[in-house]
C-alpha cells in the first residue's frame, strides 16, 4: 500500500497469485500486531503508558536489497506516508470513540459479525485479567 497504489518494492519472498493483492493481519497477544504485505512486513509493538494512553512503535521490514537500493527510497517513503495518513485518521476515530465510552450516557452494544477478532481479543484479555467468570 502506497500513496499511488503501486507496490513499494518487489515481493519479499515467493509471493504469487492472489497473495500479491492481499495483506494479512495477525495479533500476537498481548501487544504485537503483525501485518505481512507482499512487498514488506509491518509490525507494531504496543506499550501501555497508563489508562487511556499507549505508545505504538511501528517497524517496516523491507528486503535488504530494497533498503540498499537508493532508487527504492521514494517507494519506501510512499508506503510509510500512506500508512501514516490512514492510521492518523483511524486514531482520530478511535480517540473519539474512546471518549464516548466515558460518557454517562454510554451503553454497551453488541459486536457486529465483522468484529469476531475483536471479540476474541477482548475475551482473551478478560481471561488473562481474571475477569472471564
84 located within any domain: yes
SS3 at position 50:
strand
**Grid coordinates given for 25:** 493481519
Domain count, the chain: 1
pLDDT at 133 over 80: no
97 located within any domain: yes
User: Angle at the Cα of 70 (from 65 to 75), degrees rounded to 5?
Assistant: 85
12 located within any domain: no
26 located within any domain: yes
CA–CA distance, 69 with 113 (Å, rounded to integer)? 44
Contacts of 22 (CB under 8 A, 6+ apart): 38
115 located within any domain: yes
111, 118 in Cβ contact below 8 A?
Answer: yes
7 located within any domain: no
CA–CA distance, 51 with 81 (Å, rounded to integer)? 29
- Residue 87: which domain range? 17-128
2 located within any domain: no
Span 85-104, pLDDT tens digits: 999 999 899 889 888 888 89
SS3 at position 129:
coil
Span 3-43, pLDDT tens digits: 888 899 999 889 899 999 999 999 898 899 999 999 999 99
Contacts of 29 (CB under 8 A, 6+ apart): 121, 124, 128
Kindly report the pTM of this predicted structure: 0.78
8 located within any domain: no
Q: How many CB atoms lie within 10 A of CB 58?
A: 15
Amino acid at each position: 500500500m502506497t500513496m499511488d497504489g503501486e507496490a513499494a518494492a518487489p515481493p519479499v519472498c515467493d509471493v504469487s497469485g492472489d497473495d500479491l493483492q492481499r495483506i494479512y493481519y495477525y495479533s500476537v497477544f498481548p501487544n504485537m500486531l503483525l501485518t505481512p504485505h507482499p512487498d514488506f512486513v509491518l509490525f507494531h509493538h504496543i506499550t501501555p503508558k497508563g489508562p487511556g494512553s499507549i505508545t505504538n512503535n511501528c517497524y517496516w521490514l523491507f528486503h535488504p536489497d530494497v533498503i540498499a537500493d537508493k532508487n527504492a527510497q521514494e517507494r519506501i517513503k510512499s508506503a510509510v506516508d500512506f500508512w501514516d495518513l490512514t492510521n492518523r485518521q483511524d486514531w482520530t476515530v478511535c480517540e473519539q470513540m474512546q471518549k464516548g465510552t466515558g460518557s454517562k450516557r454510554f451503553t454497551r452494544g453488541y459486536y457486529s459479525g465483522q468484529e469476531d477478532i475483536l471479540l476474541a481479543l477482548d475475551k482473551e484479555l478478560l481471561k488473562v485479567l481474571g475477569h472471564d467468570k
